[in-house]
Amino acid sequence: MPAVDEPPRPTHLAPLATVLPPLLLGTATFNTQYVDNPITMPYRGIVRRALVDLGVNGFDTSPYYGPSESLLGEALEATGVERSRYFLETKAGRVHGTGFDYSAPAIQASVRHSLQRLRTPYVDLVYAHDAEFMAPADVLTAVRALRALRAEGILRYVGISGFPVDVLASLAEHILAVTGEPVDAVLSYGHCTVQNTRLLGDPVHRMHRAGVDVVLNASLLNMGLLTTRGVDNGPQAKWHPSPPALRDVCAVAARVCKQDPLPASLGMKGIEQVALRYALDVWAREAVATRVATTAFDGVSIGSSVLGVTSEAELDETMIEWWSVLDGLGIAHGSLERLQKITGFGSEPDGPAKTEAGAARTAAIKAFVEEKLWPVFGTFKDFAWASPEEGWVNQLKPIEASTANL
């Protein structure tokens, strides 16, 4: 039974699955972990193009992502779009790479500072960030602190995020058992990709049974691992947790995508587009099959994904694949004019022909991944590194705790 002081869920809140967009722009890329200088990257143009031109009305960030919240808040304000027209989610609890503070005062202070940086009176969803690093009792403390803020009206939905899917499922089960209320959302990253599909199956079924309304799939390129450049040739080389052998096989997979004629015949430049298309499509379908889905497009349920870009061109390429996924599912999205603007195409198939074209693209990519890439990954197919690594100790110092999230 829940504790007597457990804040009740507001009765006016609709289920998250009815309001969460099916595609969110993740802004972890607005950070030195991904680019040399995020201040000089075209973050304003990316946000404007996403929200105003392309109809992407969901955004994900975190105070852990360096200047991301401030840059996103500035860019959203500059669009002039009314706050109620987009969905905004952030996180709390992770202070830096090896430091966490899940105490109630720190969690609540973090959210209040996020509001300032994001230039908003409320956020729609807040996650306890990378919850696997903390004990279940600490995660409960963080969730309860977030629910107290929900009662104040400065956030609406509460979730947990992290890497190991079995741990996320266990935490969701624990939160329901102890508090009597499920978390609204679980944000999983790096576990529904061309290399790792461990989110599919038992973990997501467990989350559903634990009452989780929506499971979101993030980091479809596994934090840059599934790219032509790879993580050894960019800022990720300093921090990416993947072992060298996994980086090597991903580099081989990237070369296969460059050399095989199929991706080129589909207009794909490399492993990035192959990986994005595959993961977007698989999760769109799997989330519905497991009844952990978001509802959009006139009541059609579809799995929700979070992905980041570093340029408007990357965003355009991503959206073309996303719309093709929707085509293959027979979901009308009204993006003909947008597609023409991006690609310069004079026309595109319509009606059944468009659905058939999208479905054929889906089938071709699925076969390519399973027949050409999975053999390359070999024993690294579905491999996931330990998070946290063995012997990890929270290194948050008292001075950091007192100034965390300022």
Active site residues: 65
End-to-end CA distance of the chain: 35
Residues 6+ apart with CB under 8 A from 265: none
Q: Which one, of 210, 161, 169, 160, lies nearest residue 190 by Cα?
A: 161
Sign of CA dihedral 233, 221, 202, 173: positive
Q: State the Cα–Cα distance between residues 175 and 231, nearest whole angstrom.
A: 35
Q: State the Cα–Cα distance between residues 200 and 316, nearest whole angstrom.
A: 28
Q: What angle do CA 191, 240, 311 make, to 5 degrees?
A: 80
Q: State the Cα–Cα distance between residues 194 and 277, nearest whole angstrom.
A: 10
Phi (first) and psi of residue 76, to 5 degrees: -65, -40
Q: How many CB atoms are closer than 10 A to CB 394?
A: 14
Q: Which one, of 232, 229, 227, 256, lies nearest residue 244 by Cα?
A: 232
In the block, residue with structure tokens 């199929």 = 262
Q: In 3-state terms, what secondary structure has residue 294?
A: strand
